[in-house]
Chains A and B, each alone.
Chain A
Amino acid sequence: MLAPYEVTRSPHLTLAVRGSLDINTAPALAEEVDRIMANRPPAITVDLGALELIDSSGVAALVKLYKAIRAAGGTITFVNTRDQPLAIFKLLKMDRVFGI
Chain B
Amino acid sequence: MTAPIRLSVPGTLAYRAVAVRVVAEAARLVSSSKRREPDNPLTVDVTDPFDTAVVSAFMEIFNNIALHAYSAATGTIELAITPGERQLTIEIADTGAPFDMTTVTPLPDVTADALPEGGMGIHIATAMLDEVSYQPGPPNRWRLLKRS
Contacts and interface: CB of A to CB of B under 8 A. Distances in A.
20 contacts: A24-B13, A24-B17, A52-B46, A53-B46, A53-B55, A53-B59, A55-B56, A63-B116, A67-B115, A70-B112, A83-B47, A84-B47, A88-B124, A91-B124, A91-B127, A92-B110, A92-B116, A92-B120, A93-B110, A97-B115
Nearest to B45: A52
A39 to B, nearest CB: 22
Ordered nearest first, which 10 A-B pairs have the shortest CB separation?
A56-B120, A56-B121, A60-B117, A93-B110, A55-B59, A84-B52, A63-B115, A83-B47, A23-B63, A84-B46
B107 A92 contact: yes
- Interface size on B, as a range, is 20 to 34
Given A52-B45, A93-B110, A22 B52 contact: no
Contacts of B59: 22, 53, 55
A22 B63 CA distance: 9
Nearest to B112: A97
B16 A24 contact: yes
B69 to A, nearest CB: 14
B43 interface: yes
Interface residues of A, number: 26
Interface string A65-93: 01100100000000000011001100111
A94 B60 contact: no
A64 interface: yes
A23 B67 contact: yes
A84 B124 contact: no
A97 B108 CA distance: 14
A15 B63 CA distance: 25
B97 interface: no
Contact of B44 (A20, A57, A92, A94): A20
